[in-house]
Amino acid sequence: MKKELIVAIDGPSSAGKSTVGKLLAKRLGYIYIDTGAMYRAMGWKAVRDGINLEDGRAIARFCDETMVDLSLNAGGKSHVLVDGIDVTEAIRTPEMSMMASAISAKQPVRERLVELQRSLGEKGGVVLEGRDVGTVIFPNAGAKFYLDADVRERGRRRWEEMRSKGETVDLEETIEAIRRRDHNDMNRDHSPLKKADDAVLIDSTGLSVDEVIEKMAMVVRERHGDPACR
C-alpha cells in the first residue's frame, strides 16, 4: 500500500490554515494537527505560573516540567491538554495569541514541541498547520503549502470570527494585532515564518474555503494519486 502523505500548511495568522486544514484532513481521511495550539498551551501555562520569558533557566525548567498533549474526543474534536488540563477554549483569546507568539520565539520551547510534532506526524496520513511545518518540522513533507492573504482581509476574518462568538472587538485593533504577530513570527531568530522554497503559494484573498481546498486537493492528488482527493 502507498504510504500516506505528510501535508504541511504554513502561513501567517488568520490566513485560514485551521479551517482549510481541518476540512482537507477530513476529505483525505487524514489526522489534523494544529501545531499553534501547542504553543498556545505552553503560553497559557507560562502566564498561569508567572514565568519570566527573559529568564533562560526558568524557561528551560518550565519546558522540562511541562507536558503538552493533543487528544481527540468521541465526537472527533481535538482537544489540547497541558499537564492534563484541557485548555482548548482558554487558549483562544487575543492575549493568548500574543503570548503564544512570544513564547514560540524561545528555542527550548521550540525544541520541545518540534520533537512532539515529529513524533505525532512521522507515520504520515496527517495534515499539520503552523509556521515551520514545511521548513523545519517536516522539510521532506509530501505536499507543502504556504497559505497567505492580504492583512486587512485576515484581520476582517478574525474580527468576524470573534464577533460571532459575541465578543466586542475593534476591527483596526484586530488588524494591528495581526500585523504585530506577523512581525514577531517572521523576524525571530529561531525558525522564523517563511515560505519553504518548494511550498505551493496560495493567496486566499478573495477565494472561498472550497476554492482553496480544491487547489490543495489537486496538488495532493498530483503528488499521491489518492482517489480520496478526487
Q: Any contact of residue 13 with ligand DC (CB under 6 A)?
A: yes
Dig out the grid coordinates for 169 from the structure.
472587538
Positive or negative, the Cα torsion across 215, 217, 219, 221? negative
- # of chain residues touching ligand DC (CB under 6 A): 15
Q: Any contact of residue 104 with ligand DC (CB under 6 A)?
A: yes
Residue 143: exposed, middle, or buried by beta-carbon count in 10 A (0-12, 13-18, 19+)? buried
Q: Any contact of residue 154 with ligand DC (CB under 6 A)?
A: no
Q: How far is the CB of 97 from ligand DC (least distance, A)?
A: 6
Dig out the grid coordinates for 101 from the structure.
507568539
Stretch that binds ligand DC, among 55-63, 70-78, 93-101, 200-208 (CB under 6 A): 93-101
Binding mask 22-41 for ligand DC (x = CB under 6 A): -------------xxx-xx-
Q: Any contact of residue 204 with ligand DC (CB under 6 A)?
A: no
- Closest CB to ligand DC among residues 24, 100: 100
Would you give the distance in Å from CA 174 to the centre of its chain? 19
**Residue 7 CA: distances (Å) to CA of 20, 24, 76, 144, 192:** 12, 10, 19, 6, 19
User: Among all chains, which residue has been given the C-alpha cell 507543502?
Assistant: 144
Provide the binding-site residues for ligand DC, judged by CB under 6 A: 13, 35-37, 39-40, 97, 100-101, 104, 130-132, 181, 185
